[in-house]
Chains A and B, each alone.
Chain A
């Protein structure tokens, strides 16, 4: 196993910048998820690390070697693809043996390693089958086996679960996590599904528009998103982002809405608002931090329920505030009807404030 360092990585296609100055370090044995919407450059970044796409500028270090100009085969990596990329004409055994044959290992050693990998992944009885005779989950497992049979320095995984059905996906998710814990493998995992990233990764790199937005542990990213993009991308349902305006009267700073209501701020939040470049401030709140009241209480904002979605153990209510959708979760025993008048109370300790102009999170000193 080895660590991976990306330094000022850039990839351009003509005038289009697919990857912009991405720098990050993946520690030895760490599970890092590259996450972002489609087209954010996460797969391109992975392909750059794999050597499948030549880099425009920057450095890639795997272990202690700079691998910028090395062929994929010389980078000591293994990759699991979204469509598995199993060789259709080869049996499972031969699929697993291929990377070893390419490295010219003796036959008996290949046999030993293939059988060991098959045992670990519990697919000994599948060895003679062709990929098309396997279910999606089994194909996925063979793809994983082909990656681990060679004991590479780094595992690269490109959306390995997105072709599976929902139930299997959850199951394979824990299998891959288990696989990482057992092998202490260095894994770079690309996904567009923030839930996969949050549940599996030690650290996650959130990307958008070719830029690395934030690189931190899932809990840190969740609790302290650096900007509005990360805030809205991580967490489900998405964080509500309400555009407001800061105004100060008699030395008292409040956030006012175009709808007429205003929100009092705690001293700490006043500090944050003071750092905004303009008067425009965006209030961010996760569904679980907003309290829903069915009668007016001081400090709560009046709103109308728009949709109500019971999921069993929690009910999601959507409402509009200042033209933005607000998600609120309430216990299932609280009945809310669409169009019912409700009051929303924000938790001053847990709201997020963003600069309306730069979209960056506002920080207190």
Chain B
């Protein structure tokens, strides 16, 4: 968390290094209305929003990171970061439009778009930005800029994107060189759901020179999140094991080592099993650098 604060301070200092504008309509963000492109098409916001509702935990983190936090008046129950967000009991996956309307939002951000939600909200004349889980860093950056333009914080968004780019580059530069062919098994849950290198997480990890064992079945199988068979994991014998199911399911290096048959794995023998903060690992917001740094540190322990 300290790292983040330091990083944010750096971001404020580097506001000048903004990127070329790639978002429609907002070279100077004082000019309303603005139109931004999101996954639900072009969204027009007629005036500066002051009652933003975020039903996406990642969007909430992004909004606060770009300086739009003071305009956010309600967030869903999963938006637990940064501390002090105006959390409600709303659940972005089971929404009642009336419950949403009660908060009188003037802009809504969702990461999940059930079939009729946007249409219903349109009848209330509330603009909805649909930013689903980003498939790549580039899309995450694009979402930042869209949120920046929509909330009047384009400069803040550009600064945050620049900070993330710089930080990612610095972590990758500072990471140890892993041996060629280093593979990982990334565990999403104790029934062996994993990620391929084509997913957001897989792309981050490939920046560090790692390859997922799940790629063997094609990187786009099951949307990049296949459930692997145990015997395949054993035969693939990954160089390291990354546990993203400690918070949810209490997986630990010792619980993995204790699984029948798993003691034969070289990652178990060499103790190359690492716990990742899973509350961060499922989001594509400002804290991806914390996750990336954690893996880089694990790699230094493993190969440094």
Pairing of A with B:
no
